[in-house]
Structure 1
């Protein structure tokens, strides 16, 4: 039995890296400034201004709204921090200094009075550098300084030059200025006990492409004689090249009643070092009290369990049975796990402390069994270990559930009836495939949930260019079978959407191909997709705007281990570090023969566990929980965008109000408690040194009241 997998091989961010890859974006704006004596563009003196009016009375505790102010010049580094705020669900206001008609940053913009109580409208400030206004006597800079002093508001300098104004010596005083690609930076003891305590220590700077300068910055030491009362605490440091000294890359400069987080290197939202540090930057900025929440997610679903998969033909560069081979090309031997492969999978899970989701086709397994003398050792082994896995319905025999396919052409097209209308797979066929597979799983005692479904090839959902709309029979079949969480292909549709009664769960296709079971097959197909026609490839990489071509074909004997595994692991880890719950998917063929999926999974898990402390484990959710997480996030973000969320802190009390039916995401210090009418209860689940949860009010429209620990 052959299985067609159009679209399965190419996922978001899973292309060979080149000069135009996201990971190799260079902060050209900042480097250009550096080339023109950047130090002169940043003033070396700070103007003093009259103090802003203090709160009405010394004993009146001000209200601090849980919102961040982002002041940007349009550069990558402030964009990176803003993207992290949005990812977590933290409300923020952006002021682009180059935009016409932007608001003026003054006392009225920053603060006011509510019910007789002074209010700070922002809990933290992010600026592109320590003075993006261009003048030391800027009234806007003066207003910010007064505001931060009055309300104890922290400020992040997203990327600034190292110099005494930010508590550092200049790089020519025993420091370094230059490219940081490949540098081995680390969090200091202060960083580990402070905002970066979720990391073990190492924060390597990426060097994704040796031909591209990806990061630039300054390693500098604190000034020897700071102003009276000023201190500089380094959180992230690196060795100064050519000597034993180490210098700061991220540190806190406390002075004049203000606190600045001084970052002296450029970064963008896609780089691994930013993804590792982003949580700590936000935690420092918000003092660990903010709306939204973040986890590091990594779930892997294995499709086609019990079913065989077609095999790539390395001579003809196509897959027989996948409608892409010319007539006359003989079938290749199909790929199917063995009993030994199943035993290995169960042991691998135990050894790694990690659980896979098995996405199964029972009918295909029954067909195999009937064709092989009524014996199926693979199924027997998997069922014997059934409690070790989570199971997801993949339909009984893996048919294509969209339009009826006309395979007389390459690529295939939707068949038409006599009236020229698209022919669709019927509701009864779809319903039967879902129901029979679920019933088989229940009878075998599998941990299967009727609300979860992955159709073969994500069929039934629209698939351009052949099928630009969902099968109209899909929605009623999902209603009849109780499906609420339907898998979709993230490389086609990255956003969750409604499909009849169900919401989609976009999945990342890993570049470990469904039709490859050996490293040589995987590399051969990879070369075909990602090399130019001149180099013997298909040339797809030359015409696909989302792809780049390899400089030369990979050796089939070593290319998988040396190139594909580290690239795919880095891509998957990047998703995990981006607070992205979407699952990844591979196929049972990748657990067979050479078992080529395991090196990728092992590297993702090993790299992750090498970076993070024990209190920040990878979160491995099942299908339905991922769907619910995405649903809650969408509702929360919609409420934030509509301005219908109110949240503020007064002393040790946080008050949150969200629209009825919308759960509020919040992250607080450990020890926070929820105020109930008859007492308090612990708030949230611990993660990365904080507690967080999706909180709901006791009654629709009521406020959520949280009591912070006295040390917060």
Structure 2
């Protein structure tokens, strides 16, 4: 076969690996192949391959994409897939992802080259979304199976899936059903062809039958292994997010660059202060800039000691720590107005060790341009020369330093590196303030601030502001000016309904807004029935996307009716129902999140520039990266570096960051050696079994893959 290396020594090396013999024995043989830790993604522009590529991108796993739609694309032949380096056979890719089991024309030389490559180097293949058919080891759906919508279907990880690549899941894989009018998921449910070596990993009940059909399964034939996925998905859907880790671990054998974890951190802003309340008649917030000056009567929302008790009990029950972003002047002002008494501050300070604390500036002052609030919306004031008038360096520095002094005096366990400015002010804010306050960077330097919070909805990418780097935070749509569910719903209705329905009309002006309403929600049931499920789904989507960015709410949401807790509980309960105990949610402090984001950015840049390479020979993994760039990798439990354990345990594996001087060398445990091929149903080795017949039976038409609406 053209380009395929076959020698007696090489065949012996592959045999040693395939039989699971000690890897060191194979490594001594110069014919033991080198497998580069890079994935080949062959795309047809569909959502399934796009989703897998996005998962690799986010984790930091190098891959090469070949787009079949491009006329000038590389030809996939033996030379493209493999060569020899320093006398050793080299496989250039550790796994292959195809749009389906065979996206090429009949009798394609490219598919033949891929099949030969997979056989020669024991390279696994993922069929990102394929029709259930004998070529993929499955019966056509007309033979007792099903093809159609699987919206809302409760799929399950099988025993083989839990013992294999999907062991980080508890079992349930619920398919989304977010709209009764939009088709979201489509699948082919079927059982294995008689005699095929097919192992379902995720399945679901076949409608109208007592049998279950495969949605994800492994098919072994002709010396090849395929992960056969028979449902369509995009990168955002929960069912894919749940299975994405397992797909990557299956195709890489758990040995790959990059890492993935599930993060959830929640910042509570304005602690010690009081938040102004939404006025349901005026449709604005008296005391804040969305109301005209003097309009309405401010009615503040502030936590009580009982709210603190509820919060600490909730944290204990959930094994979760909130980050409290505090404003010391809130307590000082309260004491001045109440003969020196502030039971809330006394309670919070007494329980200070139960929380993480972040400097939120002393008075929560706006630290950007000078605001002209004589108009709604406000605008930046200008000086006599017509230039923007900015809050000065000294004022900004005083807000940071005074709050820090107050916190230290109260004994709060602060990290001086972290800062959240009021309303993320000082940073650019469109449309009024398109640039950062030029005095912000110097004030941050004056106070040694290294991590500065930003609003992900308007400033999503980490960037440098003077000596600090930003940490983008997701705003939860639980409003700062609502302490009760009815207030929240009233404001939500005003924002997201049409002008004809009494709303703001923002959705008419910006139809891409994702939370628009066709009609107002009930102020009695709308929060529980609509807002809580939606906000839970959005936040849980972030958690499942290997996204470390924190979310933020406000102290008002922990007061009065405590409306934040249903959303937070929804996220944590939903997560607990889905994941095994060895895959906990990661609840990281702000500076650790900042470091993670910074490392990822440097790693992605190095990978994109082709400055990262890695390969495996037997039980040894070697990684080369630019000096100063930390390496991220995921390996089997028991992997060592210079005799010491590598990484931290997560989802049944170990992963972590390492900054090495020169190449990084890792030693895999013996359990990481490729396993012997399982025996087929009739005793024949599965790796030598041939594929089932490929003839399409009479009356069956192969369907064009279905694309879900986003």
TM-score (norm 1): 0.91
Partner deviation per Cα, 1:476-530 (whole Å, 9 max, x = no partner): 1101100000000000011100111100000000000000000000000000111
Matches within 5 A, 1:116-135: 116-135=87-106
What corresponds to 2:671 in structure 1?
711
User: SS of the residue aligned with 1:711?
Assistant: helix
Task: Tell me the distance in 2 between the aligned counterparts of 1:98 and 1:381.
Answer: 64
Matches within 5 A, 1:205-604: 205-226=175-196, 231-326=197-292, 329-548=295-514, 549-604=516-571
* Deviates most, 313-322 or 596-605: 313-322
CA RMSD of aligned residues (A): 1.1
User: SS of the residue aligned with 2:219?
Assistant: strand
Partner deviation per Cα, 1:292-316 (whole Å, 9 max, x = no partner): 0010000000000000001000011
| Aligned mate of 1:77, from 48, 54, 68 | 48
Is the contact between residue 187 and residue 196 of structure 1 (CA under 8 Å) also seen in structure 2?
yes
> Does 1:53 find its partner at 2:5?
yes
Is the contact between residue 56 and residue 118 of structure 1 (CA under 8 Å) also seen in structure 2?
no
Task: Tell me the distance in 1 between the aligned counterparts of 2:242 and 2:600.
Answer: 22
Partner deviation per Cα, 1:525-576 (whole Å, 9 max, x = no partner): 0001111122221111121243152121100001000110000000000000
> Does 1:665 find its partner at 2:632?
yes
What corresponds to 2:167 in structure 1?
197
Task: Tell me the distance in 2 between the aligned counterparts of 1:374 and 1:50.
Answer: 87
| Aligned mate of 1:610, from 546, 569, 577 | 577
Partner deviation per Cα, 1:575-624 (whole Å, 9 max, x = no partner): 00000000000000000000000000001000000000000000000010
1:259 deviates by 0.2
Structure 1 unaligned regions, length at least 5 = 1-48
TM-score (norm 2): 0.91
| Aligned mate of 1:156, from 123, 126, 129 | 126
| Aligned mate of 1:103, from 58, 74, 83 | 74
Is the contact between residue 55 and residue 118 of structure 1 (CA under 8 Å) also seen in structure 2?
no
Partner deviation per Cα, 1:75-126 (whole Å, 9 max, x = no partner): 0000000000000000000000001200000011101111111110000000
1:332 deviates by 3.1
| Aligned mate of 1:683, from 646, 650, 661 | 646
What corresponds to 2:609 in structure 1?
642
What corresponds to 2:696 in structure 1?
none
Given the superposition, is the C-alpha separation of residues 302 and 668 from structure 1 closer, same or farther in structure 2, using an over 3 Å criterion?
A: same
| Aligned mate of 1:179, from 149, 161, 170 | 149
Task: Tell me the distance in 2 between the aligned counterparts of 1:296 and 1:584.
Answer: 14
1:440 deviates by 1.6
User: SS of the residue aligned with 2:486?
Assistant: helix
Task: Tell me the distance in 2 between the aligned counterparts of 1:88 and 1:320.
Answer: 45
1:410 deviates by 1.1
1:51 deviates by 8.3
Task: Tell me the distance in 2 between the aligned counterparts of 1:373 and 1:225.
Answer: 84
What corresponds to 1:23 in structure 2?
none
User: SS of the residue aligned with 2:666?
Assistant: strand
Is the contact between residue 426 and residue 473 of structure 1 (CA under 8 Å) also seen in structure 2?
yes
Is the contact between residue 293 and residue 374 of structure 2 (CA under 8 Å) also seen in structure 1?
no
Is the contact between residue 267 and residue 274 of structure 1 (CA under 8 Å) also seen in structure 2?
yes
Task: Tell me the distance in 2 between the aligned counterparts of 1:91 and 1:72.
Answer: 16
Partner deviation per Cα, 1:229-266 (whole Å, 9 max, x = no partner): xx100000000011211110000001111000000010
User: SS of the residue aligned with 2:285?
Assistant: coil
Partner deviation per Cα, 1:611-662 (whole Å, 9 max, x = no partner): 0000000000001000000000000000001101110000100000110000
1:139 deviates by 0.3
Is the contact between residue 176 and residue 241 of structure 1 (CA under 8 Å) also seen in structure 2?
yes
Structure 2 unaligned regions, length at least 5 = 14-30, 673-710
1:328 deviates by 5.3
Is the contact between residue 190 and residue 234 of structure 1 (CA under 8 Å) also seen in structure 2?
yes
What corresponds to 2:707 in structure 1?
none
User: SS of the residue aligned with 1:391?
Assistant: strand
